[in-house]
């Protein structure tokens, strides 16, 4: 066992540096962490400190279940090579935009092509499309009619390109995903919520898809131009196939879905629709995604740890950020599944049962955040 790694882990848990000022601030972090709102995202400050404390400049840091790329993006900000993998089109697109350095002129070309596509096709679209679809409200109810037609056209534009989008297309699509719904003037929707699209309120007001995208792109680039960032890589696919890609990593840092977690695909239902989901896709989504399938049996993590062993370099290490409930000790369960390939260096917990959840009605059942430190055998 790497004694130095264990000592670092103990020191990290003893002080939890991400809770100290200014890192404990709710909005701390690079603005591109908020390139697209996403329910279930890891706090950037946690990713920042795990990267800075346990990895070195130039290391390849892999997150096999990366969501919208918080961990690999933070790695790139700190001179590491961040690699993020996810099976969700939504997560992949946003991660690609963050990690692979979109060219400004190329982004302008994509916006021009999108504008032309919308103008050419919007007259053929109808406000009755998807009129029976929606979870917190029916989809057309969120938007003024002409805005909704533009959204339908823009959706088609990007779906013709997925998943083989360029990084410039990924950035424009990520921005489009972000402005789709919210409670501030940037949003295309009537007043809702930026994370979970609760039933809309307020007036039906026309808002131009192109104008809202351009405003967000300009604001995002203003922040990125001031940033030194290493080129990373986004991968679209099942984590079980990562070894086949030839990717090798020095460190895996990952926050899998917590035990008894809410259905992320339901909280993000409208943005997933924009990424190509149809109403029937939500019916069998529990079988496709880890957050619900793991509730039946944690044995699926055997394949996860086997993949981690295959892609990690010699002496490679893993840090997992987990969620413990009153009935499920996720750290203990995953330690058992890791045992054939990894030594457990340290397992520790942080009590979060009293932490306030901002703006989200479903607080979940997590009572502790756990950190599981593993070393390759």
292-311 tens-digit pLDDT? 788 788 999 999 999 999 99
Average pLDDT taken over every residue of the chain:
93
Q: Where in the chain is the domain with CATH 3.40.50.150?
A: 3-73+83-100+231-236+255-357+369-376
Classify domain 3-73+83-100+231-236+255-357+369-376 at the CATH class level.
Answer: alpha beta
Please answer whether residues 304 and 239 qualify as being in contact, where contact means their C-beta atoms are separated by less than 8 angstroms. yes
Tell me the average pLDDT across 314-333.
95
More confident residue, 41 or 155: 155
Q: Is the pLDDT of residue 362 over 60?
A: no
Q: Is the pLDDT of residue 331 over 80?
A: yes
Residue pLDDT, tens place only, 79-113: 999 999 999 999 999 999 999 999 999 999 999 99
Q: How far, in Å, CA of 215 to CA of 149, rounded?
A: 20
**Cα–Cα distances in angstroms (integers) from residue 223 to residues 68, 166, 206, 217, 352, in the given order:** 18, 21, 28, 10, 32
Q: For residue 347, what pLDDT is reported?
A: 98
Q: Is the pLDDT of residue 360 over 50?
A: no
Q: Is the pLDDT of residue 353 over 80?
A: no
pTM: 0.94
Rg (alpha carbons) of the chain, rounded to whole number: 21
Q: Is the pLDDT of residue 15 over 50?
A: yes
Tell me the average pLDDT across 195-207.
96
Work out the angle between the directed axes of helices 89-99 and 167-179 (0-180°, nearest 10). Answer: 120
More confident residue, 283 or 242: 242
Q: Is the pLDDT of residue 270 over 70?
A: yes
Per the DSSP assignment, residues forming a β-bridge with 81 are 60
Tell me the average pLDDT across 277-288.
87
Residue pLDDT, tens place only, 209-223: 999 999 999 998 877
């Amino acid at each position: 066992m790497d004694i130095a790694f264990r000592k670092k882990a103990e020191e990290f848990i003893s002080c939890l540096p991400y809770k100290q000022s200014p890192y404990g601030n709710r909005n701390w972090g690079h603005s591109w962490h908020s390139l697209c709102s996403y329910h279930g995202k890891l706090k950037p400050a946690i990713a920042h400190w795990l990267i800075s404390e346990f990895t070195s400049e130039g290391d390849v840091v892999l997150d096999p279940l990366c969501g919208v790329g918080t961990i690999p993006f933070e790695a790139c900000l700190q001179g590491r090579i961040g690699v993020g993998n996810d099976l969700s089109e939504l997560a992949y697109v946003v991660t690609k935009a963050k990690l692979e350095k979109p060219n400004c002129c190329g982004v302008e070309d994509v916006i021009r092509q999108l504008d032309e596509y919308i103008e050419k096709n919007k007259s053929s679209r109808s406000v009755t499309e998807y009129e029976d679809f929606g979870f917190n409200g029916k989809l057309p109810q969120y938007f003024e009619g002409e805005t909704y037609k533009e959204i339908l056209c823009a959706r088609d534009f990007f779906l013709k390109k997925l998943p083989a989008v360029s990084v410039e297309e990924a950035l424009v699509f990520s921005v489009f995903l972000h402005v789709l719904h919210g409670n501030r003037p940037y949003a295309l929707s009537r007043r809702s919520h930026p994370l979970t699209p609760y039933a809309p309120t307020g007036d039906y007001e026309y808002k131009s898809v192109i104008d809202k995208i351009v405003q967000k792109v300009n604001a995002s680039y203003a922040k990125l131009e001031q940033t030194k960032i290493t080129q990373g890589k986004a991968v679209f696919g099942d984590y079980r196939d990562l070894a086949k890609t030839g990717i090798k990593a020095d460190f895996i840092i990952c926050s899998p879905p917590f035990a008894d977690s809410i259905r992320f695909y339901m909280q993000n239902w409208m943005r997933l629709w924009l990424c190509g989901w149809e109403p029937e896709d939500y019916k069998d989504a529990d079988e496709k995604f880890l957050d619900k399938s793991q509730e039946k049996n944690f044995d699926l993590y055997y394949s996860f740890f086997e993949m981690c062993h295959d892609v990690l370099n010699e002496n490679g290490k893993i840090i997992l950020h987990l969620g413990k409930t009153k009935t499920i000790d996720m750290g203990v369960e995953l330690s058992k599944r890791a045992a054939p390939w990894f030594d457990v260096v340290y397992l520790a917990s942080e009590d979060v049962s009293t932490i306030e959840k901002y703006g989200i009605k479903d607080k979940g059942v997590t009572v502790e955040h756990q950190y599981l430190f593993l070393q390759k055998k």
